[in-house]
Amino acid sequence: GAMGGSASLLPRDALGEYQELTFLSKQEILLAYKRFSELLPKEERENACSARVPKSHILTLPELRANPFQHRICHVFSTSEAGDNSMSFEDFLDMLSVFSDSATFDIKSHYAFRIFDFDDDGTLDRKDLEQLVNCLTGQGEESRLSRGEMEQLIQNILEESDIDKDGTINLSEFQHVVSRSPDFASSFKIVL
């Protein structure tokens, strides 16, 4: 074509809609579209808006490769009916929107809670907290906590956070805790 075969562009009406539905700027949406298209096989790039990228490709993004919660992030943002955690362009945008600097504290903390809720039951219980700690400390032998250290740490987390003392942390308890943590918002971000 006259454009020298440049990457297919996002339809203009879609661009405006995505700006309204996300915390992203026009530039960020266009860059996201470019990055998303590049994760697709060449023959699917024409229809990037309706294609799905497999989770294994999403995880090749450097921003996620280094994230200890990469699998949970794909799980929470994927709308795949097949349950394979693949992402559509809209899923991808939702993820970037939540992780952007412009997203509100409420939105960020809500999604962080969902990401940390490993069994998807709406509360953070001891098992969720244990998996959370394991993700943060890394799975290597030398960095793993002993049984006793893990128990102590989870006990401490619950004492700090479990306001109604029911043995689990609900969303409002979680939001209360992270609202007092100055580095929460800055650690919860992905910039392409």
- Residue 184 confidence (pLDDT): 85
Over the stretch 45-59, which tens digit does the pLDDT of each residue have?
998 999 999 999 999
Residues 6+ apart with CB under 8 A from 112: 174, 178, 184, 188
Amino acid at 33: Y
Domain range summary for the chain, segments of one domain joined by +: 12-99, 105-188
- What does the pLDDT average to over 158-179? 96
Better-scored residue on pLDDT, 183 or 4? 183
The CATH label, of 3.40.228.10, 3.40.50.300, 3.40.50.280, 1.10.238.10, for the domain at 105-188 is 1.10.238.10
Supply the pLDDT for residue 51: 96
* % of residues, the chain, pLDDT over 90: 79
Tell me 146's DSSP state. P
Q: Which CATH number fits domain 12-99: 1.10.3720.10, 3.90.1640.30, 1.10.287.70, 1.10.238.10?
A: 1.10.238.10
30-39 average pLDDT score:
96
CB-based contact 70:64 (threshold 8 Å): yes
